[in-house]
Chain A
Amino acid sequence: MTDVDILIIGGGPAGLAAAIAAHEAGCRNVLLLEREPALGGILRQCIHAGFGMHVFKEDLTGPEYAQRFVRRFHELGLSAQCDTMVLSVTPDREVTAVSPAFGLQHFRAKAIVLAMGCRERTRGALQVPGWRPAGIYPAGQAQRFVNLDGWMPGRRVVILGSGDIGLIMARRMTLEGAKVLACVELMPFSSGLTRNVVQCLDDYGIPLLLSHTVTEIHGRERLEAVTVAQVDAQRKPLPGTDQRFECDTLLLSVGLIPENELSRAAGVRVSEVTCGPLVDEALQTSVPGIFACGNVLHVHDLVDHVTIESTEAGRQAAKYAQGQGEAGIPACQMLQIRDGAGVRGLVPQTVCAGRVADVLPLMFRPAAVFKDAAAVVRLDGEEVLRKRFRILTPGEMVRLVVPKEVLERHAGAGELTVGVEV
């Protein structure tokens, strides 16, 4: 059994930022465990640009963004163990891991930061009917094949779902010599960032078929074609709208799911909306001393937000490990954070107003597309903050900050809601 102050599970952008922040907060016994052979997480395969606009005021590619944190991580003398798979986490923060270099290991941590990221939704989860041939891949897996392994998954491609990875892969496959026939989206709007729709589809003349879906898979061995149909307002395929696309590859970009199997086994309560742990303003889960950040907490679309959130998680974990957690602060009334109209998946879910340092960041996804709308924060029904947006879409997470003074003015409030008002 090895004792560590802070154990960080996952060496992607979330884990790296949390480790650096914990170190900078004075923790010197921090260990990061990563299952891949190198640090950087999913950023290693995101060779496109668009990262770092908020954190560095620069437009970086994924590997470059990751490298800045990896370099800082090493400069600070932080230690990481790659090729290491965490097998279990217990509620009293004992962690079992396995790696070729160190075999089976047991750790006991004063604080744990969960930063395992997310996985992609699969065809099975979508229940697309038809054959089960080769050539159907989650877009992120195809991205890994192309960008890290140097393998091409196919030559004629249809993309189901307009999530960012799917859009990015439309361009990536095109630049690698494949023909992308269409990007098919069930909803009447794209779930990806606008800039990706413009730069990855429009630039290459790839049609975006909104309110469409794949209704059948053809091909016994390798994919041969897909049937695409238009859907009605209830997202049911409309008869007579079938189109057949002859293709050898179907990429799925239909959503990401936080990977919380370890968290659940540790007794961490998980939200049914975000699929990530329920956390408080310190990003602490329902298990004391276990913190969560990044895509394991809720699926982000900007890595910059992951970095900001994870820096906070690392700092809070350090506080906890140094014994300055909740113990030192007088108990205060808990604010319950609830999704109002047009809002989904607010994080955090509970807040102790007295423990908020300067501002309380709130993150959520709009439930639909709203134009010229306002996000309105209410404490026990009373409006305390209003921010206007030209456009709100489910594809772009919203981050609001509530100043501490606002919370103090309404001390004693029991419920905070955020809603969208048009």
Chain B
Amino acid sequence: MTQNFSDVLVIGAGVVGCAVARELSRYALRVNVLDQAGDVAEGSTKANSAIVHAGYDAVPGTAKACFNVRGNALFEAWCRELEVPFVRNTSLVAAFDDRDLAALEALRLRGARNGVPGLRIITQDEVRALEPNISRAVIGALLAPSGGICCPYGLTFRLAEHAAANGVTFHFERRVVDVARAADGLWQVTTADGGVFRTRAVVNASGLYADELNNTVSAQKLSITPRRGEYLMIDKQYAGTFRATIFQVPTPLGKGVLVSPTVDGTLIVGPTAEDVGDKSDTRTTADGLRKVVESAARVWEQVPAGGVIATFSGLRAHGDRDDFVVGEAPDAPFFFNAAAMESPGLTAAPAVAVWLAEQIGKRLNAQRVTSNVHHTATWKPFREMTDAQRIAAIADDPSYARIVCRCENVTEAEIRAAIRCRIGARTLDGVKRRTRAGMGRCQGGFCTPRIIAILCEELGLKPEQITKFGGGSNLLVTTHGARPATLGLSPERRASSVESREPCHD
């Protein structure tokens, strides 16, 4: 048995892969997780609307409908157990004309068939009573009390941490290039760096790339189109403008542009929906960002241009079957898909993970373990502490008294903890997403130097080795100390600038 043998190999460390790994860790199974990126949550998980959908959108009877409603029901308990934020802030679907009102009724009926609790259609007055800042163009809405918001990457970090605490091994910067059945019946997974992972079962949670993996082992072909969504993030100063997540009546391309508070107190506006050719094309575009603002204006008349703190885009894995592809591939035993998990993939992740882990457990005749760790330590954010908690935390660790990120009041203790945990941050973005340092209105303007210094101390690296998100995303070039004494001035530049233009006569 080689070091890289496992019972189950999960490919993809997004929210779905990490949720499956964590559920599998409840069984007496050796579980490995591979990801091509240097951290968890680097794909679709880090850039989406962060909504826990109620479940009125999906066509009844589909995997989407089933896992959405079940996932929504699990979300609160999962977030509580993992100590990550979740708010059931309710969702509204806004209607602007009579046709929309009819569409709301259809949505309500569909939701009821899917088992969504508490759906009702409310009048303009009721909408305005709930959301005083909503546009007067909204004439009614579908109210979904079970709609919520979460932190997708925060959840993923904690799922990975919990999985690791229960024996799951993570391998980063491992891009899978081949999956094949070996002569002995085991799956043999090869990575771009020449690594070979042998495993009894494979879970394909590789997001945008899940079609390629599936198609190497199964004749039941899948096709995934990257569907790009662009977003604007609005500063906390506008927190409270809206309490609910406000959708517009959906179009064939998706749920349209939404306006929602986030669990961090900012507001998110977006996404667009644009099919792109490249599975890594997370560019923002002038057109896309303009469309977001124009479309959101139907709900939020004056999206404050001065309040925008960040723009970004994410890619949803849109499958050609218009549904999730979850379960064992019919013609590839022990190859389990969790594929085409576009929206409501995040919401569905807990339910998909529980169900898949059960299936895999049965197929591998695995026992549930009783020695499982139920709680993994995490740090409490300083900004959420009471005075008494702050005093206690500082007494325990004085670096809790050193604020590094002043927009989000993140302390040095939190940053060090985020690096030192099992699935610890190795990059500036890794620290940012685990602690919110650098995510505020100054976008790291003040705290970046300090975080670079802490990363260097903790990881034994030089400043120029620190990256934004791995790969070649280095933040700095050679430092002063290492600079050659000649300064590297090119003769060409010296000749062309000062001297040649301004001769000195004496």
Contact = CB atoms under 8 A, between A and B. Distances in A.
A–B direct touch, CB within 8 Å, in complex?
yes
Interface of A: 35, 83, 85, 87, 96, 98-100, 102-104, 119-120, 122-125, 127, 129-135, 138, 140-141, 144-145, 148-155, 174, 176-177, 179, 203-205, 215, 220-222, 248, 261, 264
Contacts of A102: 401
B497 interface: yes
B309 A125 contact: yes
A153 B471 contact: no
Given A104-B401, A134-B475, A205-B496, A129 B394 contact: no
B505 interface: no
Given A205-B496, A215-B286, A125 B488 contact: no
B28 interface: no
Given A141-B446, A221-B471, 9 more contacts: A103-B391, A132-B312, A134-B468, A149-B449, A149-B453, A177-B489, A204-B497, A205-B496, A261-B407
27 contacts: A103-B398, A104-B387, A122-B310, A123-B443, A124-B308, A125-B309, A127-B284, A127-B311, A129-B285, A129-B286, A130-B284, A132-B284, A135-B475, A141-B448, A148-B449, A149-B453, A149-B463, A150-B479, A151-B476, A177-B489, A203-B498, A204-B497, A221-B468, A221-B469, A221-B471, A221-B473, A261-B407
A122 B443 contact: yes
Nearest to B233: A124
Interface string B476-493: 111111010001111001
B420 interface: no
Given A149-B449, A150-B479, A98 B468 contact: no
Contacts of A174: 497
A247 to B, nearest CB: 12
B310 A124 contact: yes
A45 to B, nearest CB: 10
Interface in B376-412: 387, 390-391, 394-395, 398-399, 401-403, 406-407, 409
Nearest to A99: B401
Contacts of B99: none
B445 interface: yes
A337 B191 CA distance: 69
Nearest to B307: A125
Contacts, number: 148
A120 B396 CA distance: 35
B441 interface: yes
B501 interface: yes
In the A-B complex, the 4 residue pairs with the smallest Cβ-Cβ separation, listed nearest first, are A124-B310, A134-B468, A85-B403, A221-B472
B466 to A, nearest CB: 10
B363 interface: no
Interface of B: 232-233, 237, 280, 282-286, 288-289, 306, 308-312, 387, 390-391, 394-395, 398-399, 401-403, 406-407, 409, 441-446, 448-449, 452-453, 463-464, 467-469, 471-481, 483, 487-490, 493, 496-498, 501
B222 to A, nearest CB: 26
A122 B311 CA distance: 11
A132 B445 contact: no
B475 A153 contact: yes
A35 B446 CA distance: 11
Given A83-B402, A119-B446, A124-B310, A132 B476 contact: no
Nearest to B470: A221
A103 B388 CA distance: 12
Nearest to B412: A100
A145 B453 CA distance: 11
A96 B308 CA distance: 29
A206 to B, nearest CB: 8
A160 B224 CA distance: 38
Given A103-B401, A264-B237, A151 B285 contact: no
A141 B496 CA distance: 29
B308 A222 contact: no
A138 B311 CA distance: 16
Contacts of A140: 445
Contacts of B469: 134, 221
B283 A131 contact: yes
A144 B306 contact: no
Given A35-B406, A124-B311, A204-B498, A151 B480 contact: yes
A134 B483 contact: no
A43 to B, nearest CB: 16
Contacts of A127: 232, 284, 286, 289, 308, 311
A119 B312 contact: no
A99 B394 CA distance: 9
A177 B480 contact: no
A141 B280 contact: no
A334 to B, nearest CB: 28
B282 A131 contact: yes
A123 B474 CA distance: 18
Given A127-B311, A150-B481, A152-B479, A133 B473 contact: yes
A373 B112 CA distance: 70
A171 B471 CA distance: 30
Contacts of B401: 98-100, 102-104
B387 A151 contact: no
Contacts of B448: 141
Nearest to A120: B445
A126 to B, nearest CB: 9
Contacts of B403: 35, 85, 98
Given A125-B309, A179-B493, A150 B480 contact: yes
B506 to A, nearest CB: 19
A122 B308 CA distance: 10
Interface centre among B309, B401, B475 (most CB of A within 10 A): B401
B237 A129 contact: no
Contacts of B444: 141
A100 B399 contact: yes
Nearest to B490: A179
Contacts of B478: 152
Nearest to A85: B403
